[in-house]
Amino acid sequence: MQDIIQFIKNESALVKSLFLMIIAIPITFLVQLIFYLIIHAWISFFNKSKGKKG
């Protein structure tokens, strides 16, 4: 990874922009996926425990 970054550093703004897009969009998806899983698990756990109480 370090080699790739070093290579991109010496490239034009256009190449850097393309690299940024390739890296940043999947990371943003990944972060939202983590949040999604947390929310999903939290709500499922809440509804389950509420159901048990009911």
DSSP structural state of residue 10: T
SS3 48: helix
How many other CB atoms are found less than 10 A from the CB of residue 19?
A: 16
Q: Are the CB atoms for 18 and 11 separated by under 8 Å? A: no
Structure token pair of residue 45:
């756990």
How many residues make contact with another protein (CB under 8 A)? 32
| 3 lies in the binding site for another protein (CB under 8 A) | no
7: contact with another protein by CB under 8 A: no
Our CB check for another protein shows the closer of 3 and 14 to be 14
32 binds another protein (CB under 8 A): yes
Contacting residues toward another protein, per CB under 8 A:
5, 8-9, 12-14, 16-21, 23-25, 27-29, 31-36, 38-40, 42-43, 46-47, 50
